[in-house]
A and B are shown apart, each in its own frame.
Chain A
C-alpha cells in the first residue's frame, strides 16, 4: 500500500529531516511510527499525501508514484487518504459539521448522504452535541476529535494520524484507538505517528522507529 525507496527529505541546505528511508507497509496493516521529537515522523506522513515531495528516492502509494502525479490529480490522491494533522487544520469559519462534511462535499457526495455520514462519525467521536459550534469554541481534545472525524468520514483507503491522541485523556485515547482498529478491520491501512510508548505496547502492533531521520527499528 505504501512503499518508499531510499527516500530523503532535506529542508533547506543542511536540515535533513529524513535520510535514506526504505520501507513497506502492506494493505490492511496497522502501524505505529514513533521516535523522538524532530525525528521526521510528520515529514514522513507529509510525503505520503504529497504535502511535500522527497529530495531523493521514490514513494509508491496505492500503486501510484507520488512524486510523478500531475498537479491536477493530487486532490484525488488525497481523497483516498484520511489525515489527522498534528495541528488539526480545521476551517475556523466553518462549523464542526461543515468541517467534516467538507471532505464529502469536494467529492460530490449528495447533501442527505453528507449529513448522514458526518453526523454518524461525529457521534462516534462523541461530538454529536457540538456539531453547530465553531472550532474556536472547542477544547483542544474536542478539536482533535473533529480532525479525527474528518479523516475518517469518507472511509479512506489509508489513514494517517499524527499524534492523534496527544490532547486526549487516557480513556478517550483508548476509545479513539479502538475506532482506528475498527476502521482497520474494515480494510483501511492505518499509520499512526506517536510518542505514546504505553499505547504502542498495549496495542502490540508493528512499530517503525525513526531516529534523526533514519529507520532505527522496523
Chain B
C-alpha cells in the first residue's frame, strides 16, 4: 500500500511536470515518435515483402526431367530419394504420356504436333515441391545440384530469379532500416537524457528541500524516471498513429507505383504484437534516457 502510494506520487508528479514543461517535452516525444515511426515504416515494408516472398516461394518447384533411357527401377530409386529427403514436401510423377496430354491442353493450336513426330519427344518428369523451411535460393540450388547428380536425371529446372531479387531487396530494406532507425533511437535516448537533465537542473533547489524534509532517493528519482517512460510511451503511441495513417494513405500509393506489384491489397499493417513493441520500445528508450540522466545528475543523496 505504501509502495502503491509512492508510485501514485511518482506518476502524479511526472504528469504535472510533463504538462508544466510541455514545450520541451514535446521535443523528446517528437524525437522518439519520429525514430520509432521510421523503424516502423521499414519494418512494415520488409514484413510485407517477406509475406510476398513467402507467397511466391510456396510456388518454388523443381522440375526433374528423367533421362530417356531411365528404367522403372531408376524411377523407384528416385522416388525413394525424394521421400527420404526432408527438404522435399511433395512430388508428382508426370509420365511421358501425361506430358503430351498437358502439352496439348497448353497449346491447342499445336495439337497435332506430337502425332507428326511419331515418337514422343517429351521426357517424363517429377514435379517437386520444396519444403517450406528450404524455400530460399541457397537450399533450392543445393537440392537441385544433388538431384541433378543422380544418374537417371537428365536435367533439373527451377526459377529463382524473382526470389533472388526480392531477397536482395528485403535485405537492403532491413539494413537501411536498422541503420537509420538505430541511429535515431540513440538520438532519442540522448534527447531524453538532456531534457531530463534540464528538468533536474531547474529543480535543484526543490530537490534539496525535499531531501531535507525526509524524501528518500527513490522518492526523488521516481518522478523523473516515470516522466522519461511517459515521454517514451507517448512517443511510441504517436509513432504508431503516424504509422497507421501513413500505411493507409501513403505506403500503398508508394508501393503501387512499383511496376512489379500489380495490387496492394496484400499490404498488411503491422500486427498487434508490433503495436505493443513500438509503445514498449518507446517506454524503454525513455527509461534508459532518464535513468542515465538521473544517475548522472541526481547522484548526491544528502
A interface residues (Cβ-Cβ under 8 A, vs B): 49-51, 71-72, 74-76, 78-79, 83, 85, 89-93, 102-103, 105-108, 110-111, 150
With a CB–CB cut-off of 8 A, which chain A residues contact B301? Answer: 71-72, 74
The answer to whether A72 and B6 have CB atoms under 8 Å apart is no
Chain A contacts of B219 at CB under 8 A?
75, 106
Query: Which of chain A's residues have a CB closer than 8 A to the CB of B5?
Result: 105, 108, 110-111
Residues of A near B214 (CB, < 8 A) are 75-76, 78-79, 103, 106-107
The 6 closest A-B pairs by CB, nearest first: A108-B2, A79-B214, A78-B214, A106-B215, A75-B216, A75-B214
A50, A75, A102, A108 — which one has the most chain B CB atoms within 10 A of its CB? Answer: A75
B210 at the interface (CB under 8 A from A): yes
Is B141 on the interface with A (CB-CB < 8 A)? no
Interface residues contributed by chain B, number (CB under 8 Å)? 19
Contact: A75 with B206, CB < 8 Å? no
Interface pair B216/A83, CB less than 8 Å apart? no
Pairs across A and B, CB under 8 Å, 29 listed:
A51-B212, A51-B302, A72-B216, A72-B301, A74-B301, A75-B215, A75-B216, A75-B217, A75-B219, A78-B211, A78-B213, A79-B214, A83-B212, A83-B213, A89-B209, A91-B210, A93-B206, A102-B210, A102-B213, A103-B213, A105-B5, A106-B214, A106-B215, A106-B216, A106-B219, A107-B214, A108-B1, A108-B5, A110-B5
**In the complex, chain A residues whose CB is within 8 Å of the CB of B212:** 49, 51, 78, 83, 85, 89
Q: Taking CB as reference atom, which chain B residue is nearest A51?
A: B212
Q: Are the CB atoms of B302 and A71 closer together than 8 Å? A: yes
Chain B residue nearest in CB terms to A77 = B214
CA of A72 to CA of B206, assembled, Å = 19
Residues of B within 8 A of A91 (CB): 206, 209-210
Q: Which residues of B contact A (CB under 8 A)?
A: 1-2, 5-6, 9, 20, 206, 209-217, 219, 301-302
Number of A-B contacts (CB under 8 A): 57
CB distance from B187 to the nearest CB of A (A): 30
In the complex, residue of chain A having the shortest beta-carbon distance to the beta carbon of B17: A93
Which residues does chain A contribute within 8 Å of B20, judged by CB atoms? Answer: 93
Contacts of A85 in B (CB 8 A): 212
The listed residue with most A CB atoms (<10 A of its CB), out of B5, B209, B219, B302, is B209
Residues of B within 8 A of A83 (CB): 212-213
Contact B213 A106 (CB under 8 A): yes
Complex Cα distance A83/B9, Å? Answer: 23
Q: Which residues of A contact B302 (CB under 8 A)?
A: 50-51, 71, 74
| A92, A102, A106, most chain B CB atoms within 10 A | A106
The listed residue with most A CB atoms (<10 A of its CB), out of B5, B210, B212, B219, is: B212
A residues within 8 A CB of B213?
78, 83, 102-103, 106, 150
Please, how many angstroms separate the alpha-carbon atoms of A107 and B213 in the complex?
10
Which residue of chain A has the shortest Cβ distance to B206 in the bound complex? A91
B209–A108 touching, CB < 8 Å: no
Give the chain B neighbours of A49 by CB distance below 8 A. 212
Tell me, in angstroms, the Cα distance from A51 to B208 when the chains sit together.
Answer: 10
Tell me the minimal C-beta distance from B125 to chain A in angstroms. Answer: 79
What 6 new A-B contacts, CB under 8 Å, besides A74-B301, A106-B216?
A71-B217, A71-B302, A75-B217, A79-B214, A89-B209, A110-B5
A91 to B5: give the CA distance in the assembly, Å: 20
| Least CB distance, B231 to chain A, in whole angstroms | 20
In the complex, A76→B211 CA distance in Å?
10
B2 touches A75 (CB 8 A): no
